């Protein structure tokens, strides 16, 4: 018998994060996610994931400067983006451009740990630039160059929209990045670790991870959540919409998780950010629809005896929409936020590497003989 979906299989020791699935608790390197979201910036969280401890003031200043200095991407990679059909999905554009970065990275083939740390910082810095550039290029606009002095999250919104975000919007983006930065042996992290475990380079690992995150059962769910909210359109239509979808046997995007059997701890933090943004903009429509969906789901799942609760993608959708991020770029936000997690995992994998090579249980026919081609039916 095979273990479908590798559920419950432990494939590595990690010092990066721990998920308490039954309690709905998430810890990065010993720190509770709520504490980090409230009291640290994304840059501090990146440093923590990469180096194992929060930075002191001098270390943070230096780390921010390193990130800032690595934000620019080669002009040739922007030219490559210009060659893509305009309707290329932003995650496909990101996957292509991230892969192409390898050709221009002075450390691409250097697999020493020092070089891998440099690439981890560089790739974390470059991912928002690539996403924002595609957001402009596909609309026939010129990419906006990164701006020094803006934090990682604020600079992304600036490069995407051309406007410097106010404090609430910048902080909201920053916290959303922190919440997505790391999450144990999720599918895309596993893909990255499998890739570098063959001793392929970090850009290959990143490209595998981006491709894996793209699917709607993983990072692609946030985009689908927004489609659902837009399709429902009005709070009063939510209940019938959800009940009809469940009756057709469909999954409701933004609900359920392989590991959590309780509320995903990231969801209430995002709900609170969504509430603050809605209050600032005076438009609570998406939140109202979301909370109606949540209560119908609670009722339906209780009735079916299933522990299905909102996950990180449920409230991130309305947060990103309110921040002015195009719906089809939501998963890119997840990818840029997860880059420190992915790269830290690749470094961890390589410290104690062994090829990851599970087995398959063959269930096909046996004892067949090759027939001459004219005798085959």
Interface with ligand CMC (CB under 6 A): 5, 183, 186, 217-219, 221, 251-258, 306, 308, 311-313
Q: Minimum distance from CB of 292 to ligand CMC (Å)?
A: 16
Supply angle C-alpha 343, 346, 352, rounded to 5: 150
Rg for the chain, CA atoms, rounded: 22
Catalytic site includes residue 152: no
The pairing of strands 31-32 and 25-28 is antiparallel
Beta bridge partner(s), residue 26: 19
Environment class of 98 (CB within 10 Å of its CB; exposed 0-12, middle 13-18, buried 19+): buried
Q: Six-digit token pair at 108?
A: 């691409």
Q: Minimum distance from CB of 38 to ligand CMC (Å)?
A: 21
Q: Minimum distance from CB of 68 to ligand CMC (Å)?
A: 29
When the beta carbons of 283 and 302 are compared against ligand CMC, the nearer one is 302
When the beta carbons of 116 and 212 are compared against ligand CMC, the nearer one is 212
Beta bridge partner(s), residue 20: 25
Choosing from 313, 328, 352, 367, which is the catalytic residue? 313
When the beta carbons of 92 and 187 are compared against ligand CMC, the nearer one is 187
Q: Minimum distance from CB of 34 to ligand CMC (Å)?
A: 18
Q: Minimum distance from CB of 297 to ligand CMC (Å)?
A: 8
Q: Six-digit token pair at 40?
A: 């640290």
DSSP 142: P
Q: Minimum distance from CB of 316 to ligand CMC (Å)?
A: 9
| Pair 269, 34: CB distance under 8 Å | yes
When the beta carbons of 95 and 258 are compared against ligand CMC, the nearer one is 258
Q: How far apart are CA 18 and CA 185, in angstroms?
A: 10
Q: Minimum distance from CB of 241 to ligand CMC (Å)?
A: 13
Choosing from 110, 218, 288, 328, which is the catalytic residue? 218
Catalytic site includes residue 166: no
Supply angle C-alpha 330, 163, 220, rounded to 5: 0
**If you search the block for the tokens 């079916």, which residue do you land on?**
304
**If you search the block for the tokens 């640290």, which residue do you land on?**
40
When the beta carbons of 197 and 209 are compared against ligand CMC, the nearer one is 209
When the beta carbons of 125 and 259 are compared against ligand CMC, the nearer one is 259
Tell me the H-state helices in the chain.
Answer: 33-39, 42-51, 57-69, 75-83, 90-101, 113-137, 152-161, 167-180, 187-197, 202-213, 221-232, 238-247, 266-281, 285-304, 312-322, 330-351
Choosing from 105, 257, 264, 345, which is the catalytic residue? 257
Catalytic site includes residue 218: yes
Q: How far apart are CA 286 and CA 48, in angstroms?
A: 34
Q: Minimum distance from CB of 86 to ligand CMC (Å)?
A: 27
Q: Which residue is nearest to ligand CMC (CB)?
A: 256
Q: Six-digit token pair at 289?
A: 């629809």
When the beta carbons of 118 and 183 are compared against ligand CMC, the nearer one is 183
When the beta carbons of 146 and 256 are compared against ligand CMC, the nearer one is 256
Q: Pick the closest to residue 223 from 138, 323, 334 (CA basis).
A: 334
| Concatenated DSSP letters of 277-338 | HHHHHT--HHHHHHHHHHHHHHHHHHHHT----B-HHHHHHHHHHHTT--GGGHHHHHHHHH
Task: Just list the catalytic residues.
Answer: 218, 257, 313
């Amino acid at each position: 018998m095979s273990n479908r979906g590798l559920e419950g299989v432990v494939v590595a020791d990690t010092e990066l994060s721990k998920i308490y699935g039954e309690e709905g608790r998430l810890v990065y390197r010993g720190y509770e996610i709520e504490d980090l979201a409230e009291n640290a910036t994304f840059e501090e969280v990146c440093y923590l994931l990469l180096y194992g401890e929060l930075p002191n003031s001098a270390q943070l200043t230096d780390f921010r400067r390193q990130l800032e200095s690595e934000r620019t991407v080669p002009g040739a990679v922007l030219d490559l983006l210009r060659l893509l059909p305009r309707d290329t999905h932003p995650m496909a554009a990101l996957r292509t451009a991230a892969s192409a970065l390898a050709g221009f990275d002075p450390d691409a083939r250097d697999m020493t740990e020092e070089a891998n740390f440099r690439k981890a910082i560089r790739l974390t810095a470059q991912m928002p630039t690539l996403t924002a550039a595609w957001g402009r290029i596909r609309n026939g606009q010129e990419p906006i160059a990164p701006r020094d002095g803006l934090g990682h999250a604020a600079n992304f919104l600036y490069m995407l929209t051309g406007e410097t975000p106010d404090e609430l919007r910048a902080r909201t983006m920053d916290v959303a990045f922190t919440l997505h930065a790391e999450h144990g042996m999720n599918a895309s992290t596993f893909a990255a670790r499998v890739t570098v475990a063959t001793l392929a380079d970090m850009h290959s690992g990143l490209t595998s991870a981006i491709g894996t995150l793209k699917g709607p059962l993983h990072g692609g769910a946030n985009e689908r959540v927004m489609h659902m909210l837009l399709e429902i359109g009005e709070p009063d239509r939510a209940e019938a919409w959800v009940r009809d979808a469940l009756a057709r046997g469909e999954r409701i995007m933004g609900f359920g998780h392989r590991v959590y059997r309780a509320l995903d701890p990231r969801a209430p933090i995002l709900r609170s950010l969504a509430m603050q943004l809605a209050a600032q903009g005076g438009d609570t429509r998406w939140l109202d629809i979301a909370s109606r969906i949540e209560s119908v789901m609670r009722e339906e799942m209780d009735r079916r005896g299933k522990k299905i609760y909102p996950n990180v993608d449920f409230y991130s959708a309305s947060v990103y929409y309110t921040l002015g991020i195009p719906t089809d770029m939501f998963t890119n936000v997840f990818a840029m936020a997860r880059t420190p997690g992915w790269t830290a995992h690749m470094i961890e994998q390589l410290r104690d590497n062994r090829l990851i090579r599970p087995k398959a249980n063959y269930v096909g026919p046996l004892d067949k003989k090759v027939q001459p081609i004219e005798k085959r039916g």
